[in-house]
Structure 1
């Protein structure tokens, strides 16, 4: 735990207070302590500050969209599969789990080729019907929309599987009693199904949101952070904080700025996780049971 978790955290925090970059890199040149200089420059220099707040805004937007689309997408599929009269439920569940079973690395690389605006089969198919497809990964808006859609395809199976498991544990007596009282399907969903699912899955949903803030693979493998944004420092339109951190450190050697961003990432996720978990009903009721 110390060598693989604690020590790297301490090391990365210490880097933020130095001038460790591509011009001050051991063993050629030693680094010097700079105090809070990197923090000040990140927020005082206009282009750096503009980049940070722009990337931060998209990071939060991405985390919200990716979490809720995968959750409610899985919720919708779970409800459809569990409907009365649906035959071959096991087969449908197995088919819908295919995106989750295939390694995301392969799926994202394939999707990148599918959404290629010049040579991809999606735009080629649309062109046969007289429709000129958009620049999926070259236009800022469509690049963000494409990332959310692909992430939905990758992420909904897990939510579906979890929700199906919860749906099978809800007592049928509740639905039968509500039917006797003349409750509609929407009312049963609002008062029975949705609260039961949220009570069990809210901690997982919070964890998924925190994980999507650091969802490196989808952004890096699908769009690479692009398209390029001339107003940003070493960041593209679809870069989130974790991919910008990677670009700053690995590609451009700005290790001190990357360390500063990693500290802010930790603070953001820690505050959100602590606040959300403390307000989650499942944990509060668990404390009461103790």
Structure 2
């Protein structure tokens, strides 16, 4: 219930209290005044800062048009630019390597189990799909425990003493291995369906013409396979480009080097944007939004040539 000096608000069933604002806005001077301390705040750099210049700014934000300043900070600020470029380089390498490794392993397994001479193919196929049926967050947490340096299964079985989450390159390798386990069943299923759709008379004609198995794979099977799988590879690249869940659950973007907590060695642009906007000590929604816009542009520019290539592959049919 509003009053002249504030408002009455219920506190439980039988009690209430009269609340009064501690900050009062002066419309004429566009300032905020703390009624308790008498401090006057003015809007500056999207924050309410003390007019006297002494003291901390308020936690309350303020809307201010900054133009392209956030984009300029990403490329003009030397410290931020160095981290942004290193994250960008890993963000390109991670989806490329993920798509390549998962596709190659899934395709090889699909080719192997496409041979009618193998008995129990249905059982093998069912077992290979199991990793895809387990939720990603469960698999990521399990793999994170297996990569533990002291008690993890990986070091125990191999006899190694690798600090998987303390060394930047080891952490990246751990992410790629985990994503290989998570991603190859999808590629296996897709390639299996695509291989079964290839007409048998085409393969028989290649055999009659004297084509070796390697030549048949390279000149007949792969072009027909890419017609069906090509768009899915592009979609897989776009998904892994923004694979927030895997990075955040496995390494949380770390390890962090040089005392910089803004971006880690395994951070993607999406996790860097999340840390800038929410998870950091000083949230900066504007800078995080600029990173998100750049992500959109990059994915669009990288996907367009791929879709043009897959359109050309349709002529194979």
Give distance in 1, aligned partners of 2:130 and 2:166: 28
Report the Cα distance in structure 2 between the residues aligned to 1:22 and 1:85, rounded to whole angstroms.
Answer: 74
Identify unmatched segments of 5+ residues in structure 1.
1-17
Answer yes or no: is the 8 Å Cα contact 1:70–1:155 preserved in 2: yes
1:268 aligns with 298
Q: Please, what is the CA RMSD of the aligned residues?
A: 2.5
Task: Give 1 or 2 for the bigger CA radius of gyration.
Answer: 2
The counterpart of 2:176, out of the listed 131, 136, 148, is: 148
Task: Determine if contact 1:59/1:241 at 8 Å carries over to the other structure.
Answer: yes
Q: 1:36 aligns with which of 62, 68, 76?
A: 68
How far residue 136 of structure 1 moved from its aligned partner, in angstroms, is 1.4
- TM-superposed deviation, 1:19: 5.4
TM-superposed deviation, 1:179 = 1.6
CA–CA separation in structure 2 for the residues paired with 1:22 and 1:266? 32
- The equivalent residue for 2:247 is 219
CA distance change for structure 1 residues 246 and 21 in 2, over 3 Å: closer, same or farther?
A: farther
Matched, 1:190 2:218: yes
> How far is the alpha carbon of 1:202 from its aligned partner?
0.7
> Given the superposition, is the C-alpha separation of residues 189 and 27 from structure 1 closer, same or farther in structure 2, using an over 3 Å criterion?
same
Aligned partner of 2:5 in structure 1 is none
Cα distance in 2 between the residues matched to 1:22 and 1:241: 29
- Asked if residue 110 in structure 1 is aligned to residue 142 in structure 2, the reply is yes
Asked whether the 8 Å contact 1:200–1:282 carries over to 2, the reply is: no
Query: 2: CA distance between counterparts of 1:39 and 1:21?
Result: 19
Q: Does 1:239 align with 2:267?
A: yes
Query: How far, CA to CA, are the matches of 2:45 and 2:287 in structure 1?
Result: 9
Cα offsets for 1:177-222 (capped at 9, x unmatched): 2222221110110111111110111111111111111111111111
1:81 pairs, out of 113, 118, 139, with 113
- The structure with the largest strand share of the pair is 2
Alpha-carbon distance between aligned partners in 1 of 2:210 and 2:48, rounded to the nearest angstrom: 70
Give the alignment's TM-score, normalised by structure 2.
Answer: 0.78
Structure 2 segments unaligned to the other structure (5+ residues)? 1-43, 50-55
What is the Cα deviation at residue 175 of structure 1? 1.6
* Deviation readout 1:26-46 (Å, 9 max, x if unpaired): 972323211111111221110
Q: In structure 2, do the counterparts of structure 1 residues 284 and 191 end up closer, same or farther at CA, with 3 Å as the change threshold?
A: closer
Rounded to whole Å, the distance in 2 between the matches of 1:96 and 1:213 is: 25
Q: What's the offset of the Cα at 1:22?
A: 11
Report the Cα distance in structure 2 between the residues aligned to 1:50 and 1:22, rounded to whole angstroms.
30
